[in-house]
Structure 1
Amino acid sequence: MDNRRNDQRIKWLILLIPTLTIGLWEYVRHAFLLPYLSMDLGNLLAPFIVLAVTLTLVRGLFSRLEQSQQALQNEKSTNAALEEREQLARELHDGISQSLFLLAVKLDQLDEIQTNEPVKQLGAGLRETVRVMHEDVRQAIASLRLPPSPAAAAWVVPLKELLSETAAITEAQAEFIWNIPDATLTDKEKVELHACLREALFNVRKHAKASRVFVIGEPDDTGGFRCAVEDDGEGFIGDPLFAPGRFGLRMVRDRAHGMGWTFNAERRGDHTVVELLKLGGKST
């Protein structure tokens, strides 16, 4: 409300200042300067005086009005983002989270009535998968309910927080290295990068047993970028895209290919690397 009142005052000043300037000039000219200035010269000077006032006072008011409007637009965008995040968090909680809980209950019931050992082992594996998925959903809900940072690269903040959580859970050292200018990424690229890097971090948390974890985002000379999650954990056994329970990496690969990016998941020396590469000039 205060911003709107301030904007109204600025608009009125923009309207009134030129008029008041002309009125004041005419008064001063007729009251004090008439013996020294001819009528024609006074008329000639009037538009230049109004122009000078406009370039000084009114121009500054326009700048303040633009800043106020931009701040108001940013506030609206932030509120809209908060509402969307809260709605998505509710949908996750009321939909997927409760469905997973119900599935876990049914698996417990199956375990109680089933005596066949292979079936019991399969049920135990399914129960563990459901538990991990439920934890992932719970973490997603918690992240969505955190207020976004007002920084330009606010979408990166949850990745930093997830990296810190991963480091705390796995007792690993974490390093976040991000040098990609935010303005060089489209909104779609931000969404896809966030989803891919998030899934890669969850993969480190669940499987790597790492002592060091890195999230890296760096531009290249062609206008593209390299984003990666690296760790010094156990690494992959065989092809990670076909390992049991590694659905997340397949999702990352499919998202990357859908954006026209190159996807790599491999062992390099003593580090496991999940990497996304965009070549400069490729449209998304």
Structure 2
Amino acid sequence: MRPRHIKWLILLIPTLTIGLWEYIRHEFLLPYLSMDAGNWLAPVIVFGVTLAVIVPLFSLLEETEEELNASMRSEAVLREREKFARELHDGVAQSLFLLSVQADRLQRGVAEGAADIGAELTGLRRTIRETDEYVRQAIAGLRGDPDAAGEEPWTDTIRSMFGEFERNTRCMLDWRWELPDRLLGPREKIELFSSLREGLMNVRKHAKDAANVRVRAAADRSGGWTLTVADDGTEFPQEDGGSERFGLDMIRRRAAEFGWLVSFGREGSWTVLSISKPGGGGKDAAVSGVDRR
């Protein structure tokens, strides 16, 4: 029985009890029971019904509410686990993958006697520092520290990520960012940034022989926006695989929280990941973007 139904029963039973008693007394007991005796019996009957029916209903209501609270606590724990999994996947797992790639390059450079080992070491140290900073921010965020988020402007954060991608891959990155800050709330910016980073990481991990990557983010006239990440790799990542499916599932779960639409597939010679938010009206969205080719 639902708590709402129990509350209605608790409210109605005393009223129905006293109403039924008055009806029986006036219809059947009036010749045998005086008015004073009937008035004294009314609260006694209501008290008896309360002990017999209302008290068990209160206990049932408490048990039901406790079950609901336990369910809510369990759901909150699951949400925190999901958040923690995202933090690990978005930052630590991806950074470890990047470190392994850089370590492989360094090992090959040592074996081949390459002259640019110093540059590889510099990149390795930078990635380690970035990973350490990310872990610190993630821990602060999980603890609820309101100052965990950095003060870096949104477009600078995007630009920094693109620069890191270009430094650590042999792909030519062609990007154009025309998505105004005002169309995204604080949480949307965080989740869209994580989704974009995941899309680029999927290119690095799974796009075979990719030489060109294209990123587009733009608003539309209805107040919505679309972000696409495309690569010209020859191999199409299968969604029944392991880590790539996990990454795409993370993107889809993020999108579902905000009502975004996600598509992933092959378009001609390009593999395209698209994330979009439908617009809410016909208002023309002003665009001021940055371009890098």
TM range (shorter): 0.3 to 0.5
Q: TM-score under structure 1 normalisation?
A: 0.45
Higher relative contact order (CA 8 A, sep 6+): 2
Q: TM-score under structure 2 normalisation?
A: 0.44
- Return the structure number with greater helix share: 1
